[in-house]
Amino acid sequence: MWAVERFEQVQAIAAPRKRLGLDAADRVLETLCRRSGRKAGPDDGMGIRTLIGQAAWERLAPAIRERFGNSPAKGEERIYRGVMETVGCTWMGLALAHVGRFLGAPMAWKTGRDVPCDVHVYADPKGGVVWERRYDFGAADEIVAKTTKRCDGRGRLLECFGAAAGMTLKVFEQDAELHFVSEDFFLRIGKWKVLLPAALSPGTLHVVQKDEGEGAFRFTMDVVHPLFDAIAIQDGVFRRVAA
């Protein structure tokens, strides 16, 4: 077993959702859904500013606002280089990561410490922004995990895994940090969107972007399953480099 103390932190985070400020996020999203036809402007990136509201946006660290304030232009690529201090999974997390390889490979299917990692961010021709994470586990063993963030027609932020699966995200600011928390996971079958029962989904995913100063930011990701508790964790520090 690894990172037991981290598991306890994750479980505390996943329990009472009010402690994450999700009630406020719900109110923002409900307001957006009522305002039919409202879409993020061209300078609003993935719609983050619209989703969390201007007051919350201004509370974010300036470097976070710069990173999420606008989307990459067509043909532009942004690269963030760093080290994942922890890439951890339990057996259940690894099993789900391997299954995910058939759905667009959203998560690394290996574990390690101090894993060099590059994150490539670029526009998806079909809409949205691709976040492609390249993990270097050594010995020419590179794993590429990729997801696409995009807004749907009802003012919600989706993170899609290929064309067949994804999750709906709650997004909010807390303590000048940007939080993403999964609300549900879904499969796309033809024109139908099928929500997965909680027990058959990865659980609750929580990502935090925290400014570390001097151009660096910390990325943390925790995944907590309703039956198996914490099943995955990633934690690393990154900086933007020239493409």
- Domains defined for the chain, CATH in brackets: 4-241 (2.40.128.20)
Q: What is the pLDDT of residues 45-55, one digit of tens each?
A: 568 998 999 99
Residue 56: is its pLDDT beyond 70? yes
CB 122 within 8 A of CB 77: yes
The pLDDT, as a whole number, for residue 154 is 78
31 vs 161, higher pLDDT: 161
Q: What is the reported pTM?
A: 0.81
The pLDDT, as a whole number, for residue 33 is 40
Residue 35: is its pLDDT beyond 80? no
The pLDDT, as a whole number, for residue 168 is 96
Residue 26: is its pLDDT beyond 60? no
The pLDDT, as a whole number, for residue 141 is 86
Q: What is the pLDDT of residues 104-116, one digit of tens each?
A: 899 999 999 999 9
Both tokens of 71, joined, read: 């989307």
Q: For the chain, what percent of residues have pLDDT higher than 70?
A: 81
Distance CA 190, CA 194 (A): 10
Instruction: Name the CA radius of gyration of the chain, rounded.
Output: 17
Q: What is the pLDDT of residues 62-104, one digit of tens each?
A: 999 989 988 899 899 999 999 999 999 999 999 999 999 998 8
Cross-strand partners of 187: 165, 194
Residue 29: is its pLDDT beyond 60? no
Q: What is the pLDDT of residues 121-172, one digit of tens each?
A: 999 988 899 999 999 998 778 999 999 999 887 778 999 998 889 999 999 9
